[in-house]
Amino acid sequence: RGDKKGDHFELALKAIHQIENTDLLKKAKDEKTYANILVTALQASRKLKPHLTDQTTLEQDKKMFRVKAFGYDHVPDITIDNDGTAIEIKLIDSPDDIRDCIGQALIYRFSYRFAIMVMVDITKERLFVESLRSKDSKEAKMLRELCDELNIMSVIGPGFNR
């Protein structure tokens, strides 16, 4: 459990604010397109821009800090500093997608102080978003515990339905 104070925490909060104010309903065909949308939104902040690294170009990908865990390299979609915050973007279309995103965030916490899961619900019925409507739902409680205990924060919203 890390401290929720200091520069890294302030940058993570700023990133969450920028992401929450980004229209995830834009027509995007895949996670890479959503990543590009979010990178543009995050770079709009003068405070965040100098701290960002993303996978949009091969040159930047080489600079990405790789987390070695369980015999594999894991690379987040976007980072804020090399040990600050890992941002993972996941299109949610099945239960496997939810498990993958949470698992990736847990792995990023090996090396980053904070992880932000950006979960974009692309199910036809908005099942994932609906499961979180009640703040007392077991799903909402679990996400709060991930934040409180493990510094894994979540931004969840409906995305473009293909």
Determine the Cα–Cα distance for residues 45 and 25; give it in Å rounded to an integer: 21
Total Cβ atoms within 10 A of residue 123: 17
E strand map for 2-141: 52-54, 67-69, 72-74, 78-80, 85-92, 114-121
- 67-101, pLDDT tens digit by residue? 888 888 888 999 998 889 999 999 999 989 999 99
Q: What is the pTM of this model?
A: 0.89
Work out the pLDDT band at 162, boundaries 50, 70, 90. low
